[in-house]
Amino acid sequence: MLTFARFGLFMVIPILLVVACSQQAEVSPTAVPSSPIASNPTSEAVSPTPESTEIPEPTTPTSVPNPTADPITGAPALARGEVLRRPYVVMLDNHPDAYPQSGMDKAAMVIEALAEFGITRYVAIYAPGITPDVDQIGPVRSTRLYFAQWAMGFHGIYAHAGGSEEGLAAVETTDQLINLDGLLANGVDYFVRSNTRFAPHNLFTSTDELTRAAKDFGVTDFDDPEIGYLFKEDIPEDERPESGSFSYYFIYAEDPAGWTYDPETNGYLRLRRGVPAIDAVTGEQLWTKNVVVMEVIEAPIPGDPQSRISQQVIGEGPARLFMDGEEQEGVWRMEEAGSPLRFYTTDDEEIRFNAGPIWAVAIPSMDNLTVE
């Protein structure tokens, strides 16, 4: 059972500001529902069953993370040939009532992409036995078709809370992943609801709960040589640039996200609207070793009552890769749903990342990227 310390509702943003935001605030055509049950049972429904609990009070950033990484296995990342247990793939919320999130600082990989109304969500991937255990992951939110297609490529246990009709159809019929839906009877026991955040932005899980789900679902170890990425050693300290930064936005230029290069760790520190983005549990600024910015075509789904969008994640497109304090042009590629998401140089050589976590961002246009 998850146990968390209390913190107050400190993050309530006026709805007018929410509508103007794209990356860190999720909105709907109406206010956040006061009822614990949302109006659309296929996408935003809130199950009353999970036990309510409390989540910890966030603190201010105290230190720069500096995890130990292995240049051969990529640990604590996803190294090809080293992933012997199904990854845990978790959908995470990005509504203002969901910030700060918890657990992304321990993920091997995070993929961020638009959901509705210019708001993003995250896919966080954990590698059991490789990445650290995480006591609190969340808030967990619903899937969409393109998020599910990315998840299929990791062949993992996919933790989410409902989804769009297309997204649910994909995860309920595929043999490429194990579907763990926190709104269904066979999945609800592996999630808890916080009583200090508004529903539906209050659903949490943990690696212990996901491990328990894997055992209960009869998930066995597997050996898939296609899962994961290739890694290399960092460049020497005396060759690293002194500084660097870049930012991007999804829909609204006034709502940027970004990263600053840290030569000491040869990694990148995340910014949220120009200030440090933190983890709710540790209070530390989010950090990653590698950042990939992908251009992914998106468009509204005609006639969708929830104003949902589609994203073309099958195929390939341009990318910018940031590691060792430098920018590099590249290409992202995913041949079909269930195929791994891969990254290549413009000469079609697969990218070797610096050992450690990867953060991938899908923006609708490279014009939204600024490098300083």
Please enumerate in sequence order all residues whose Cβ is within 8 A of that of 347, keeping only pairs 6 or more positions apart, or say none: none
Tell me which of 36 and 178 has the higher pLDDT.
Answer: 178
Domains of the chain and CATH, by start: 230-371 (3.50.90.10)
Q: Show the CA angle centred on residue 338, arms to residues 308 and 298, nearest 5°.
A: 30
Question: DSSP state, 88?
Answer: E
pLDDT of residue 33: 26
- 310 pLDDT band, cuts 50/70/90, is confident
**The two three-digit tokens of residue 336, written as one number:** 């079909």
Using DSSP's 3-state secondary structure scheme, residue 137 falls into strand
Q: Give per-residue pLDDT as tens, 282-309.
A: 999 999 999 999 999 877 677 777 677 7
Tell whether the model's pLDDT for residue 43 goes beyond 60. no
- 4 pLDDT band, cuts 50/70/90, is very low
Q: Which residue has the tokens 């006034």?
A: 254
320 beta partners? 293, 329
**The two three-digit tokens of residue 190, written as one number:** 């592996």
> 252-289 burial by CB neighbour count: b if 16+ within 10 A, else e?
eeebbbbbbbbeebbbbbbbbeeeebbbbbbbbbbbbb
Tell me which of 308 and 160 has the higher pLDDT.
Answer: 160
Burial (Cβ within 10 Å: 0-12, 13-18, ≥19) of residue 241: exposed
Alpha-carbon distances of 276 from 14, 40, 138, 285, rounded to whole Å? 21, 34, 19, 6
Tell me which of 4 and 170 has the higher pLDDT.
Answer: 170
Q: How far apart are CA 269 and CA 190, in angstroms?
A: 31
Looking at every residue in the chain, the average pLDDT score rounds to 83
Tell whether the model's pLDDT for residue 112 goes beyond 50. yes
Measured in whole angstroms, the distance separating CA 314 from the mean position of its chain's CA atoms is: 18
Q: Give per-residue pLDDT as tens, 167-181.
A: 999 999 999 999 999
pLDDT of residue 18: 34
Which whole number is the average pLDDT over 187-191?
A: 97
Tell me which of 312 and 41 has the higher pLDDT.
Answer: 312
Which whole number is the average pLDDT over 129-156?
A: 96
Containing 261, the helix (H) or strand (E) segment is: strand 257-262
Burial (Cβ within 10 Å: 0-12, 13-18, ≥19) of residue 301: middle
Question: DSSP state, 231?
Answer: E
**The two three-digit tokens of residue 196, written as one number:** 């200090």
Beta strands in 115-211 (DSSP E): 120-126, 157-160, 178-181, 192-194, 203-204
Q: Give per-residue pLDDT as tens, 211-223.
A: 999 999 999 877 7
pLDDT of residue 42: 36
Alpha-carbon distances of 34 from 138, 197, 198, 290, rounded to whole Å? 20, 11, 8, 40
Sheet holding 157-160, edge to edge: 178-181, 157-160, 88-92, 120-126, 109-114, 358-363, 290-295, 315-323, 326-334, 342-345
Q: Give per-residue pLDDT as tens, 49-101.
A: 455 555 444 444 444 454 556 665 666 789 999 999 999 999 999 988 899 99
Phi and psi of 102, rounded to 5°?
-130, 140
Alpha-carbon distances of 190 from 18, 94, 203, rounded to whole Å? 31, 21, 10
Tell me which of 189 and 18 has the higher pLDDT.
Answer: 189
Q: Is the pTM of this model over 0.85?
A: no
Tell me which of 343 and 65 has the higher pLDDT.
Answer: 343
Tell whether the model's pLDDT for residue 36 goes beyond 70. no
Alpha helices in 95-243 (DSSP H): 145-152, 165-173, 207-216
> Do strands 267-272 and 257-262 pair parallel, antiparallel, or not at all (unpaired)?
antiparallel
Tell whether the model's pLDDT for residue 233 goes beyond 70. yes
Tell whether the model's pLDDT for residue 340 goes beyond 80. yes
**Total residue count of the chain as it appears in this document:** 372
Q: Show the CA angle centred on residue 3, arms to residues 269 and 27, nearest 5°.
A: 55
Alpha-carbon distances of 95 from 11, 30, 45, 214, 362, rounded to whole Å? 10, 14, 15, 28, 18
- 5 pLDDT band, cuts 50/70/90, is very low
